[in-house]
A and B are shown apart, each in its own frame.
Chain A
Amino acid sequence: MTAWIDHLVIAPIIVPMLAGAAMVIAGSDRRRLLAGLGIASTALLLLLSATLLVVADAPEVRIYRLGDWPASFGIVLVLDRLSAMMVALASVLGFAAFVFSLARWHRAGAHFHPLFQFQLMGLNGAFLTGDLFNLFVFFEAMLAASYGLALHGSGTARVRAGLHYIVVNLLASLLFLIGVSVVYGIAGTLNMADLAARMRDVAAEDRALLEAGLAVLGVAFLVKAAMWPLGFWLPGTYAAASAPAAAILSILSKVGIYAVLRIWLLLSGDGAGASAAFGATALTAGGLLTVAFGSVAVLASQDLARLAGASVLVSSGTLLAAIGMGQAAVTGGALFYLAGSVLAIGALFLLVELVERGRDIGADVLAVTREAFGTGEQEEDGEPGERDAIGVPIPATVATLGGSFLACALLIAGLPPLSGFLAKFAILSPLLAPGGGAPRPMAWVIMAALILPGLATVVAMVRAGMDAFWASPAGTPQRVSVVEFLPVALLLALCAALTVAAGPALGYATAAAEALHAPANYLRAVLGTPEGGR
């Protein structure tokens, strides 16, 4: 393939990095310029990730060697179906959250724009890197930006939740470092593919230590993925964060899932010798416990934002339980589920803010922070909500919001006809009929774990929806500008597209999962000698 396509692999990291740097230089007063840069960068990312998605849909894995050093010395970026899919999800969610924030949230505090770009850079980097230590660096870049975004808008609740979030994640980073250094001490490499190739040859007396190191590493990822009992920080933080920040934070927990998926399947696959399927039981059990905890949390949540946070827990748990089963077809279904749930939960987080606004809870906090920070261009713009509102107190707003809320509920609970149902079906169907034989007893447990949280979600969402749309006192004006509704509509339309094009999408996910379960191509691509004359 031509050289420029090879360079596209690093573009999702470079574009937001340059945009963020330009925004820092431009200063935080030139809001129009910042917004323009942000739109340009997120739209370009959208295009890039769509291209990468197509490019990655091939058996061979695409490698980008930084400085063209061979993999044993240099750092590599790796593009396969999984990373292309994750980058695409991050870009879509980033675009939607950014457009949403332009209506008002981007004025609620300093440095929103650069932080947002660095957040996207960290996310894309974590998805693309093929090196454990680089994964740590991108994790930190992503987390540092997310600390800022979680605190965006300030206020007591955010600072309090943000403090917990930062402490928990710093601790997880330290565990990450311990894991990485143990792995390096035993295996002598940090390149994931090189590590996988060396797994078989680890001396018997060192294997326990190496597995301990990998387990510590896994704990660090699972804190991010919020597996029970490591996930108590999540609902509070996500509920307190501002809507666009919460939407982008919701994909951060999927980074933990991605890292587990990538590293666990690479290192404990068939080539791992005595370490094959190491830790699978712990993953499944942890996933099931997370689902149970998440369902109770969904039922117990008093407000919509917490409900959305709790459904992140359910989705993480479902994914972990499915991944722990170690069947390629099940993992394929899980990846399809991941795509749908990222989009749906992102849409729900954005929607929550629009719905709650009518009830004047978030609105007063916003007004206070805008008084504190809003300067300059804000006055000449006027109220965006007044200029292009869909409808002020007329039921059209309520109807659109209610319809979107219903779609979110169907997606997250996994009811037909939308993609949530298809995804759960895709996970269950290979579990219950593994090659025509009788299903394993564990399959029934997972089936219960997939269906019961759906019931809990339906109950909780119906209760919350009735409260928000039917029981709210008449006459409260709900102002929703087009700019705010479009991102929600975009995310839901993508979910609908996933439903309509479920065949190709599921095929893509299954191909990605099969490549993960048999990483021979990945190893060959990374460890092969670089082509000369480039």
Chain B
Amino acid sequence: MELVVSLAIGVLAGSGVWLLLRPRTFQVTIGLALLSYAVNLFIFSTGGLRTGADAILGRGEVGTLAEFTDPVPQALVLTAIVIGFATTALLLVVLLAARGLTGTDHVDGRERER
């Protein structure tokens, strides 16, 4: 499972970085979205990857991380998802505004002369 998850994070991050370096705003947005998926998976995996672990302690159990999954990375990833979602939405609005005002969807270049 570790191999699959780390490969997934690697592929997402790699594609994200590649798209981020592309010239057009839409590619940059998608790149940021992919990168944030990679980061979210990464945060989630720092709690340790296990299947079938309890979410909380049962009655009378003593709390060590061997018995239940670590809730902190899950809380962190939730916050990160919400914040990432909101800022991506904002970025999309700015992207549209920039497209409307400058007439091009380049991040900082211009259309090739025809």
Which A residues fall within an 8 A CB radius of B? Answer: 133, 136-137, 140, 143-144, 147, 151, 154-156, 159-160, 162-164, 166-167, 170-171, 173-174, 177-178, 180-182, 184-185, 190
Interface string of B59-71 (1 = CB under 8 A from A): 0000000000000
Contact B86 A144 (CB under 8 A): yes
Interface size of B in residues (CB-CB distance below 8 Å): 31
Answer whether residue B1 sits at the interface, using C-beta atoms and an 8 A cutoff.
no
Q: How far is the CB of A186 from chain B (nearest CB, A)?
A: 9
Complex Cα–Cα for A344 and B53 (A): 56
What total of A-B pairs shows CB separation below 8 Å?
86
For the complex, give the distance between the alpha carbons of A160 and B43 in Å. 32
> Could you tell me if A137 and B79 are in contact, using CB atoms closer than 8 angstroms?
yes
- Shortest distance from the beta carbon of B92 to any chain A beta carbon, whole Å: 10
Chain B, Cβ-Cβ closest to A137: B79
Contact partner, A181, options B43, B84, B88, B90, Cβ 8 Å: B43
A511 to chain B, nearest CB (A): 35
CB-CB under 8 A for A163 and B32, given A137-B83, A140-B83, A182-B46: no
CB distance from B93 to the nearest CB of A (A): 9
Which residue among B28, B73, B80, B91 has the maximum number of chain A CB atoms within 10 Å of its CB? B80
Q: Using known A-B contacts A151-B94, A181-B42, A184-B76, determine if residue A167 contacts B101 with beta carbons closer than 8 Å.
A: no
Asked whether any CB of chain A lies closer than 8 Å to the CB of B8, the reply is no
Given contacts A156-B102, A177-B39, contact A163 B95 (CB under 8 A): yes
- 3 smallest beta-carbon distances between A and B, as pairs: A185-B46, A181-B43, A181-B46
List, sorted by A's number, 30 A–B pairs whose CB atoms are closer than 8 Å: A137-B79, A140-B83, A144-B86, A144-B90, A147-B94, A154-B97, A155-B101, A156-B101, A159-B98, A159-B101, A162-B94, A163-B95, A166-B87, A167-B32, A167-B91, A170-B32, A170-B36, A170-B84, A171-B32, A174-B35, A174-B36, A177-B76, A178-B39, A178-B42, A180-B43, A180-B76, A181-B39, A182-B46, A184-B46, A185-B46
Query: Smallest CB–CB gap between A91 and chain B, Å?
Result: 25
Chain B residue contacts of A173, Cβ below 8 A? 83-84, 87
Whether the pair A163, B25 counts as a contact (CB closer than 8 A) is: yes
The docked-state distance in angstroms from the alpha carbon of A166 to that of B20 is 13
